[in-house]
Chain A
């Protein structure tokens, strides 16, 4: 009876289960920082182009860079959360939890990649057009917020998944 119970236990929490949780941490950071890096670099190109002609607009043009930084903060938050739930081997770690952590990390990371991509393109063209037409500022910030909210949705789903794995 004890051997059957141990067998079921090892089937529910096999030795390779932490692999998926750690993959979730890595995917969250890798994809989230890929998106943040693309957003920072692409909008940085636009800011450099704007700052050559209108140095007084650099301060307002830095908003896409700040938003890209927030994408990386989302990835950092979910990575810290998942890492806080993991423990060395004597602690049992079920396969369900591992897949859940993988899903949380992938949802945050890949939605962060999408959000960073959107922020990069919108930030690049937005600050260039803002140099010529100052009324576009409100529209640019709104589009950037809608792009950045994509990463926030991924973080919400990741947080919900992470809370399910704790229960």
Chain B
């Protein structure tokens, strides 16, 4: 915000420094590198698992393992959904434990986004 106000008087006279400041502004406010790629991958994995696994396991097992007994296949689908949930809780819990160990080293202060980027 301060850089925006600074560049405003120089804007009518010169064009190229203005563009340069604008470029750095865009670079600093870009949030894509702040979110680690492994977090994105984990979230996409669990989203796909939650969409595909329960209903897919129903249709796969209803005629093969359970031989047309759709009640067991439905219960199995609910079980698979809970397995995905437990997997997510475990992954989040491991993330929490790692954060707790690093937090004890750093201190009790609020961690900024740059710190999180460094860790990941």
Contact = CB atoms under 8 A, between A and B. Distances in A.
B19 interface: no
Interface residues of B, number: 31
Contact of B78 (A54, A67, A152): A152
A11 to B, nearest CB: 28
A163 interface: yes
Contacts of B20: none
B85 A60 contact: no
Contacts of B44: none
B74 A70 contact: no
Interface string B78-102: 1001101100110011011001100
A114 interface: no
B92 A77 contact: no
A94 to B, nearest CB: 18
Interface stretch (A1-9, A78-86, A95-103): A78-86
A150 interface: no
Secondary structure at the A interface, as helix, strand, loop or mixed, is helix
Contacts of A81: 70-71, 74
A77 B78 contact: yes
A14 interface: no
A85 B88 CA distance: 33
Interface in B48-100: 50, 54-55, 58, 70-71, 74-75, 77-78, 81-82, 84-85, 88-89, 92-93, 95-96, 99-100
Contacts of B74: 77-78, 80-81, 155, 159, 162
Interface of B: 34, 39, 42-43, 46, 50, 54-55, 58, 70-71, 74-75, 77-78, 81-82, 84-85, 88-89, 92-93, 95-96, 99-100, 110-111, 113, 116
Interface of A: 53-56, 59-60, 62-63, 66-67, 69-70, 73-74, 76-78, 80-81, 84-85, 134, 137, 141, 148, 152, 155-156, 159-160, 162-163, 166
